[in-house]
Each structure stands twice: as structure tokens, then as C-alpha cells.
């Protein structure tokens, strides 16, 4: 099995990167966790992040008192290579509810805002809500990338955002969504 190449694009002074991999290995300032409202850990990427960070992470998230859907909270990264973890809560997908798209966009935007408020310059996201929470990959990829690019266009603090996709299907869904955005937006171009 070969890993597909990293795809890079530029928006003003910042880069967006798509790659296939395990987010717990990322050496960015922060990795984003696809958490649930309890912030007490769970399966999927949440479980992997807690296992890799060690028990001190759960001790810190316990003290945060949970997090609303669409919001994000920051902790230290403990044993992870990343300095911080930003715990973002995406929505559980419901097909006929227009709020799910707004809540998913909000989870990405709040993560970027929290990173910027804390003086960070790089962060890595997983495909929030696309696992147990059931969000269709194609729609989730379009929302994730449109929200990220819109945020990066209006600021100078965050210089690098990586979307770390766990499998090939997620990587290809994000690659197609990025291609569509590059086609639409003149400020966004491939590197
Ligand atoms: P949610 O409850 O938000 O759907 P999940 O953890 O179930 O969260 O899934 C979110 C995404 O994270 C899925 O696309 C899943 O394949 C992916 N994922 C699982 N483990 C990892 C990992 N170690 N690194 C990056 N992505 C991961």
C-alpha cells in the first residue's frame, strides 16, 4: 500500500495541505480532536488521541465541563508530538436538518479561532463528524475546506492547516473538494 502524495494549496500567506495519515503523529502546534460534548474521550480519533497523549489529557478535559456542539476548547498535548489539542465537537449527521452544515462549519471555525487566540501558527484537523457521527464525506469535505479557506483569507496568524485523512476514501473526497474550491476562488491556488 502506497500513501498518496501531500496536496498543497496557498491562500494569501497560508498553506492548506491534504494528506493521508494518523493525526496522532503530527508535529503541528495543535491537532484537532473530533470530540463529543462530554470531552471525556470516546472511540475513533478521540480514543486514539487520548491513548497517545496519556492519562493527563483526560484529567485536563474532565475539568473543562464539556463543550457545546459546534464549539472547541484547548488543552495541552502531553505525550503527543503536537503541543496542544483543540477538542472540537461536530454534529451527529441528520439528513434533513439544515443546522448540521452550520454546526460542522462552526466546529472548524471555532478550532481555528481558538488556535489563533492562543498564538498558534499551525494545526491539523481530522475529518470531523465523518466517522461514528455519520456525516457523508463529500459534503463534510466541502464544508471543512470552504470554512478553512474563508478563515485563512482574512487573517495572518495561522500559517499552515493540514487535513489529515485516515483512509483513501477520505483523502479522495477532500482532494475533489479542494479542486472544486481552487476552480471557484482566485485567491486559492495549488503549490
Ligand atoms: P466523529 O464522531 O466526529 O464522526 P470519528 O473519530 O468516529 O469522529 O471519525 C472522524 C474521522 O476521523 C473519520 O474519518 C475517521 O476515519 C478518522 N480517524 C480515525 N482515527 C484517526 C486517526 N488516528 N487519525 C486521523 N483520522 C482518524
DSSP, residue by residue, 64-96: TT---TT-EEEEE-TTSSSSEEEEEEPPPP-TT
Ligand 1 atom with minimal separation from the 43 CA: 6
Q: What is the pLDDT of residues 96-127, one digit of tens each?
A: 999 999 999 999 999 999 999 999 999 999 99
Task: Provide the pLDDT confidence category of residue 133 given band limits of 50, 70 and 90.
Answer: very high
The answer to whether residue 1 scores a pLDDT higher than 80 is no
Measured by CA distance, the residue closest to atom 3 of ligand 1 is 129
**Cβ atoms within 10 A of the Cβ of 9, count?**
20
What is the distance between the alpha carbons of residues 127 and 119, in angstroms, rounded to a whole number?
Answer: 23
User: What is the model's pLDDT at position 40?
Assistant: 97
Q: Name residues contacting ligand 1 (CB within 6 A).
A: 22-24, 34, 44-46, 48, 90, 126-133, 164, 166-167, 170
Q: Quick one: pLDDT at residue 147? A: 98
Residue with CA nearest ligand 1 atom 21: 45
Contact present, 74 and 85 (Cβ < 8 Å): yes
Give the total residue count for the chain. 191
CATH code assigned to 7-190: 3.40.220.10
Q: Mean of the pLDDT values across residues 159-188?
A: 97
pLDDT at res. 33: 98
* Per-residue pLDDT reduced to its tens digit, 76-93: 999 999 999 999 999 999
Residue 129 is classified by DSSP as: T
Report the predicted TM-score, pTM, of the whole model to 2 decimal places: 0.98
What 3-state class would DSSP assign to 47?
Answer: helix
Q: Is the pLDDT of residue 64 over 90?
A: yes
pLDDT digits (tens, 9 = 90+) for 28-63: 999 999 999 999 999 999 999 999 999 999 999 999
Ligand 1 mutation pick, 21, 34, 72, max ligand atoms within 8 A of CB? 34
| Rg of the chain taking only CA atoms, in angstroms | 15
Predicted local distance difference test score (pLDDT) of residue 2: 84
Q: Is 118 helix (H, G, I), strand (E, B) or coil?
A: coil
Mutate to test the pocket of ligand 1, among 72, 166, 170, 173 (most ligand atoms within 8 A of CB): 166
Pure H helices in the chain = 44-53, 55-62, 99-117, 137-153, 168-184
- Hey, where are the domains in the chain? 7-190
Instruction: Please list, in sequence order, all residues whose beta carbon lies within 8 angstroms of the beta carbon of residue 54, skipping any fewer than 6 positions away.
Output: 78, 79
Share of the chain above pLDDT 90, in %: 99
Average pLDDT, the chain: 97
C-beta separation of 34 from 131 below 8 A: yes
What is the end-to-end Cα distance of the chain in Å, rounded? 25
For the CA of 135, the nearest atom of ligand 1: 4
Closest ligand 1 atom to Cα of 164: 25
Amino acid at each position: 500500500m502506497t500513501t498518496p502524495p501531500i496536496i498543497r494549496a496557498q491562500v494569501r500567506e497560508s498553506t492548506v495541505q491534504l494528506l493521508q495519515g494518523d493525526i496522532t503523529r503530527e508535529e503541528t502546534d495543535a491537532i484537532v480532536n473530533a470530540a463529543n460534548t462530554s470531552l471525556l474521550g470516546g472511540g475513533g480519533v478521540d480514543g486514539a488521541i487520548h491513548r497517545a497523549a496519556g492519562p493527563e489529557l483526560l484529567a485536563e478535559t474532565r475539568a473543562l465541563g464539556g463543550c457545546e456542539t459546534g464549539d472547541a476548547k484547548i488543552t495541552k498535548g502531553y505525550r503527543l508530538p503536537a503541543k496542544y489539542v483543540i477538542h472540537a465537537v461536530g454534529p451527529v449527521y441528520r439528513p434533513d436538518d439544515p443546522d448540521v452544515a452550520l454546526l460542522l462549519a462552526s466546529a472548524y471555525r471555532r478550532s481555528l479561532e481558538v488556535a489563533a487566540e492562543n498564538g498558534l501558527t499551525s494545526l491539523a484537523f481530522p475529518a470531523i463528524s465523518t466517522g461514528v457521527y455519520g456525516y457523508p464525506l463529500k459534503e463534510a469535505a466541502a464544508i471543512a475546506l470552504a470554512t478553512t479557506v474563508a478563515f485563512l483569507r482574512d487573517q495572518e496568524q495561522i500559517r499552515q492547516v493540514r487535513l489529515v485523512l485516515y483512509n483513501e476514501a477520505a483523502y479522495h473526497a477532500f482532494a475533489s473538494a479542494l479542486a472544486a474550491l481552487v476552480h471557484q476562488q482566485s485567491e486559492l491556488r495549488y503549490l
